[in-house]
């Protein structure tokens, strides 16, 4: 399978810093590619196309305030409209850190497998150990090409009588078709349910109490006790939904798989209740997930990368299981401990900031260099320009670090040692000095 990468949101996925000293309000300037939904369609109740959010009619209603700005997710020929912000990204971010924030995730797709052989089949296909996954648990995994490159980053959610695969909406048809080609004698049925179900997510310490307020009494204990890597079926307002916990922002994260026609009523119930939950968009989530050390497929790594280059190898790959597609490449790289590059986190050095001035703003795609005085930088007598060793994949100002920018960058293996000093190209400014971090997480404390 060679599905390609559906692409990142918008032409520039970098989130602009929240204004200094402000706790509310939009970014300092609008993100490139963002468009406000200010013109409602002729029929506000019109159904959104199956690949778009069923909440678009609600967001486009002239009475909906504040009107969200949108970003395209995916290829230009078929982008999915993704909410960038509901007007106050700093407040949305604060809700993720202190209370709860509700996100619309139309970019997520869903495959469903049934049949008694479904787990053993997936165990032979994907990189993670899956054959013994208990009911009510989920595990992250990669789907690889024969050359060992990452074709999809997935979550496998095992439930009674069925197993769900959470993945990028654009990749769902290709992954389904590729997996079906390997079903020969196995008792497995595979369906793409992306058009039938929708995804919402609650992020923040108040996520479980927020959903409990709508759930049946018998479900509340299960929601409160839900741990990372676990899943449950609950009934908010009597509607059966699948909830699995994935803490992408270093705070409880509840992902809700809801029937498409029930998504808008559930959104309204959560945002218009006695204790309304604040809606949030990509801008706030992007800041929080970079702080938390959560890279994203087709943003920070993609189909040109091998698992060892993703930064999340140990979370996605089992080295104690049997064969799977692409395993020989992965096993050989693990044995040799040699790979071209891998994802790392960078923090800017205080010397990169002018006295009393703002921090530099690294862009996604910015080149990363070895400082000229560092070993391996080359001879100044023959080539005075620093040598590139990688590029920034994501960047955001960290409110938890006084708006200091934190970055993910794909770096050569020789530059991955924690404490390594590198330079980041900043257009129109001197390069910014940065330091490679011990892990991907830069969020301070135990949040």
Range of the domain at 186: 1-338
378 lies in the same domain as 312: no
* Upper half-sphere CA count for residue 298 (Cβ side, 13 Å): 21
Query: Helix, strand, or coil here: 268?
Result: helix
- What is the pLDDT, as a whole number, of residue 273? 83
**Single residue among 320, 338, 356 that ends a domain in this structure:** 338
Residues paired with residue 343 on neighbouring β-strands, in sequence order = 410
Query: How confident is the model over 331-343, as a mean pLDDT?
Result: 95
297 lies in the same domain as 433: no
Total domains in the chain come to 2
Q: Which two tokens stand for residue 51?
A: 């690949």
Q: Give the integer Cα–Cα distance in Å for 84 and 273.
A: 23
CA distance between the termini of the chain: 39
pLDDT in tens, 378-416: 444 445 567 899 999 999 999 999 999 999 999 999 999
Q: Which two tokens stand for residue 415?
A: 């530059």
Question: Taking the model in full, what pTM does it have?
Answer: 0.89
Q: Give the integer Cα–Cα distance in Å for 153 and 107.
A: 13
Give the burial class of 360: count Cβ atoms within 10 A of its Cβ; 0-12 exposed, 13-18 middle, 19 or more buried.
buried
Task: Work out the pLDDT band at 7, boundaries 50, 70, 90.
Answer: low
Tell the residue number behind the tokens 């698992």, with chain if given.
307
22 lies in the same domain as 156: yes
pLDDT in tens, 83-129: 999 999 999 999 999 999 999 999 999 999 999 999 999 999 999 99
Contact 138, 229 (CB under 8 A): yes
Here the CATH number for the domain that contains residue 39 is 3.30.1360.120
Q: In sequence order, what are the residues at sequence separation of 6 or more whose Cβ sits closer than 8 angstroms to the Cβ of residue 293? A: 250, 345, 439, 440, 441, 442, 443
313 lies in the same domain as 368: no
Is the pLDDT at 167 greater than 90? The verdict is yes
- Percent of the chain with pLDDT strictly greater than 90: 80
- Degrees, nearest 5: CA angle 312-155-336: 30
Q: Where are the alpha helices (DSSP H) in 250-398?
A: 263-271, 282-292, 313-316, 327-336
Q: In sequence order, what are the residues at sequence separation of 6 or more whose Cβ sits closer than 8 angstroms to the Cβ of residue 141? A: 126, 127, 128, 130, 154, 155, 156, 316, 317
416 lies in the same domain as 388: yes
Contact 120, 297 (CB under 8 A): no
pLDDT in tens, 44-88: 344 566 689 999 999 999 989 889 999 999 999 999 999 999 999
Tell the residue number behind the tokens 């204990």, with chain if given.
221
308 lies in the same domain as 351: no
Q: Give the integer Cα–Cα distance in Å for 113 and 179.
A: 11
Contact 207, 200 (CB under 8 A): no
- Percent of the chain with pLDDT strictly greater than 70: 86
Q: In sequence order, what are the residues at sequence separation of 6 or more whose Cβ sits closer than 8 angstroms to the Cβ of residue 208? A: 223, 224, 226, 252, 254
285 lies in the same domain as 380: no
Task: Work out the pLDDT band at 447, boundaries 50, 70, 90.
Answer: low
Query: Helix, strand, or coil here: 253?
Result: strand
Q: What is the DSSP letter of 332?
A: H
Q: Output the DSSP codes for 188-243.
A: -EEEE-TTTEEEEEEESTTHHHHHHTTS-HHHHHHHHHPPTTBEEEE-GGG--EEE
Average pLDDT, the chain: 88
120 lies in the same domain as 179: yes
Q: Give the integer Cα–Cα distance in Å for 130 and 326.
A: 16
328 lies in the same domain as 344: no
Q: Give the integer Cα–Cα distance in Å for 219 and 89.
A: 32
Contact 194, 178 (CB under 8 A): no
pLDDT in tens, 276-325: 999 999 999 999 999 999 999 999 999 999 999 999 999 999 999 989 99
Q: Give the integer Cα–Cα distance in Å for 31 and 278.
A: 21
Contact 258, 200 (CB under 8 A): yes
Query: How confident is the model over 245-273, as a mean pLDDT?
Result: 97
Tell the residue number behind the tokens 């703003």, with chain if given.
361
Q: Output the DSSP codes for 112-165.
A: EEESTTHHHHHHHHSSS--TTPPTTEEEEEEEE-TTS-EEEEEEEEEETTEEEE
Residues paired with residue 357 on neighbouring β-strands, in sequence order = none
270 lies in the same domain as 189: yes
CB atoms within 10 A of CB 23: 12
**Single residue among 338, 356, 379 that ends a domain in this structure:** 338
* Upper half-sphere CA count for residue 88 (Cβ side, 13 Å): 14
Task: Work out the pLDDT band at 1, boundaries 50, 70, 90.
Answer: low
293 lies in the same domain as 346: no
pLDDT in tens, 191-238: 999 999 999 999 999 999 999 999 999 999 999 999 999 999 999 999
**Single residue among 307, 338, 369 that ends a domain in this structure:** 338
Here the CATH number for the domain that contains residue 429 is 2.40.30.110
96 lies in the same domain as 217: yes
State the maximum Cα–Cα separation within the chain, in Å, rounded to a whole number: 74
Q: Give the integer Cα–Cα distance in Å for 175 and 156.
A: 13
Considering only 160-164, 173-177, 250-254, 271-275, which range has the smallest mean pLDDT? 271-275
Is the pLDDT at 329 greater than 90? The verdict is yes
Q: Give the integer Cα–Cα distance in Å for 230 and 135.
A: 9
- What is the pLDDT, as a whole number, of residue 445? 77
């Amino acid at each position: 399978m060679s599905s390609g990468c559906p692409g990142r949101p918008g032409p520039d996925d970098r989130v602009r810093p929240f204004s200094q000293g402000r706790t509310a309000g939009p970014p300092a300037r609008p993100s490139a590619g963002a468009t406000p939904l200010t013109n409602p369609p002729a029929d506000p109740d019109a159904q959104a196309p199956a690949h778009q959010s069923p909440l678009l009619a609600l967001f486009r209603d002239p009475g909906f305030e504040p009107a969200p700005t949108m970003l395209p997710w995916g290829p230009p020929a078929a982008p999915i409209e993704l909410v960038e912000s509901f007007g106050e990204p700093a407040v949305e971010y604060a809700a993720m850190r202190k209370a709860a924030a509700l996100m619309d995730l139309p970019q997520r797709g869903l495959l469903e497998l049934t049949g008694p052989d479904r787990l053993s089949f997936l165990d032979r296909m994907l990189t993670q150990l899956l054959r013994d996954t208990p009911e009510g648990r989920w595990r992250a995994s990669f789907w690889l090409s024969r050359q060992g490159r990452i074709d999809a980053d997935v979550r496998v959610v095992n439930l009674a009588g069925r197993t769900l695969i959470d993945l990028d909406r654009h990749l769902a048809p290709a992954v389904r078709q590729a997996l079906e080609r390997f079903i020969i004698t196995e008792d497995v049925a595979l369906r793409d349910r992306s058009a039938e179900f929708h995804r919402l997510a609650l992020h923040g310490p108040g996520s479980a109490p927020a959903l409990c307020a709508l759930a049946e009494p018998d479900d509340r204990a299960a929601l409160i006790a839900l741990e990372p890597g676990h899943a449950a079926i609950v009934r908010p307002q009597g509607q059966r939904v699948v909830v699995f916990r994935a803490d992408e922002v270093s705070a409880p994260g509840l992902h809700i798989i809801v029937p498409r026609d029930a998504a808008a009523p559930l959104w309204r119930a959560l945002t218009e209740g006695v204790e309304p939950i604040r809606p949030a968009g990509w801008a706030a989530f992007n800041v929080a997930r970079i702080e938390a050390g959560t890279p994203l497929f087709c943003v920070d790594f993609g189909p040109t990368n091998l698992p060892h280059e993703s930064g999340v190898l140990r979370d996605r790959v089992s080295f104690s299981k049997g064969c799977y597609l692409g395993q020989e490449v992965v096993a050989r790289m693990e044995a040799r401990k040699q790979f071209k590059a891998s994802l790392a986190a960078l923090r800017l050095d205080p010397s990169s900031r002018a006295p009393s001035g703002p921090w530099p703003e690294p862009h996604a795609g910015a080149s990363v260099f070895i400082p000229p005085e560092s070993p391996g930088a080359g001879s100044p007598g023959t080539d005075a320009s620093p040598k590139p060793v990688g590029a920034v994949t994501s960047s955001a100002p960290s409110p938890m670090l006084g708006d200091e920018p934190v970055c993910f960058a794909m770096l050569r293996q020789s530059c991955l040692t924690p404490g390594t000093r590198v330079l980041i190209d900043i257009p129109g400014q001197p390069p910014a000095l940065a330091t490679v971090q011990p892990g991907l997480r830069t969020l301070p404390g135990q949040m």
